[in-house]
Amino acid sequence: MSKILLVDDSEIARVKMGRLLSADTEMDFQFAVDGQDALEKLSAVRPRLVVTDMVMPRLDGLTLVKELHEKSPSLPVVLVTDSGNEEIATKALRLGAASYVPKRLIDEYLLETVQQLLSVTNEKYDHRRLLDNLTRSEFTVSLANDMTLVAPFITYLQESLVRMEICDETDQMRVGVALDEALVNAIYHGNLEVSSKLREGDGSAYYALIKERLGEAPYNDRKVTIDVRITNKEVRVIIADEGPGFDPASLPDPTASENLDNVSGRGVTLMRMFMDEVSYSESGKCVTLVKRKS
């Protein structure tokens, strides 16, 4: 059953809306007498959709739309408007309302409007329910030497971590930083073979060489392969480049305070501080980063 919260200070109006929507037997109705009452009942009712009148005491429909959009942006709200309130309806849509129905046309359009919105939101809701039961996710991404693709990949992975409840917001940010550093290393230092020591000073030589090698073979043909495995206990990310590799024993000690001031090796230090496990293959071409559920 799709729970619908009907909000109106008039009992007659609430009953009428319920009668109109009762033509669809898959709907279950709850009522609120004004916007404030609706907000107080939100967590208990957990509606799939809200239908609200415009003019009400304590908290009007327009304010309710704004509050609901801030609290539950995915919750669709239908505003019932009086004649002459077209400007207010437009404002409500800008504030986050999903649709509106003129009160004089409520008999013709309320049920149709609600069914249309539910057909969209139910699919998203079922998709979220499915993802809530996901216990393992594995995928592989192949990236060219294009840093503009790094941020979207990290965002996608961070959303997966939240969905699987691996991280809180702070750790989510730290995992993002660690992944960014690892991918910078794989692209710039691995595939393009640009040393981080060139960043010392103004860094102009560093970025000039990057720009040059992005257009040169064999550097520009190399890719970074990312293997991701997420369970409800941890995320494991394996990043492999196609460069010549390096000796992992040459990496700086992240526990040494002096390394925090060094440009060279700073990324590895952050990776090791923010992830629970960071390990390299013998060739240095592949790094594994692990973050466990706290």
Residues 144 and 115 in one domain: no
Residues 167 and 280 in one domain: yes
What six digits make up the tokens of 130?
């499915």
Contact between residue 105 and residue 189 where contact means Cβ atoms under 8 Å apart: no
Residues 264 and 286 in one domain: yes
CATH number of the CATH domain containing 70: 3.40.50.2300
Residues 166 and 249 in one domain: yes
Q: How big is the chain, counted in residues?
A: 294
201 burial level (CB within 10 Å; 0-12, 13-18, 19+): exposed
At 214, the amino acid letter reads L
Residues 161 and 276 in one domain: yes
CATH number of the CATH domain containing 236: 3.30.565.10
What six digits make up the tokens of 49?
């959709």
Contact between residue 86 and residue 73 where contact means Cβ atoms under 8 Å apart: no
Residues 47 and 122 in one domain: yes
Single out the residue in 82, 101, 132 at which a domain terminates: 132
What six digits make up the tokens of 288?
């594994």
> How many domains does the chain divide into?
2
Residues 72 and 8 in one domain: yes
Residues 158 and 287 in one domain: yes
CA distance 153 to 173: 14
Residues 233 and 195 in one domain: yes
For every residue of the chain, which 3-state class applies, written as one string? CEEEEEECCCHHHHHHHHHHHCCCCCEEEEEECCHHHHHHHHHHHCCCEEEEECCCCCCCHHHHHHHHHHHCCCCCEEEEECCCCHHHHHHHHHHCCCEEEEHHHHHHHHHHHHHHHHHHHHHHHHHHHHHHCCCEEEEEEEECCCHHHHHHHHHHHHHHHHHCCCCCHHHHHHHHHHHHHHHHHHHHHHHCCCCHHHHCCCCHHHHHHHHHHCCCCCHHHCCEEEEEEEECCEEEEEEECCCCCCCHHHCCCCCCHHHHHCCCCHHHHHHHHHCCEEEECCCCCEEEEEEECC
Residues 104 and 246 in one domain: no
247 burial level (CB within 10 Å; 0-12, 13-18, 19+): exposed
Residues 141 and 261 in one domain: yes
Residue 253 structural domain:
136-292
Tens-of-pLDDT digits for all 294 residues of the chain? 789 999 999 999 999 999 999 998 889 999 999 999 999 999 899 999 999 999 899 899 999 999 998 888 888 999 998 866 677 778 888 888 888 898 888 999 899 899 888 877 766 666 566 666 777 889 999 999 998 999 999 999 988 888 788 887 778 888 998 999 899 999 999 999 998 888 777 778 989 999 999 999 999 999 999 999 999 889 999 999 999 998 888 776 655 555 544 555 667 878 888 899 999 999 999 999 999 987
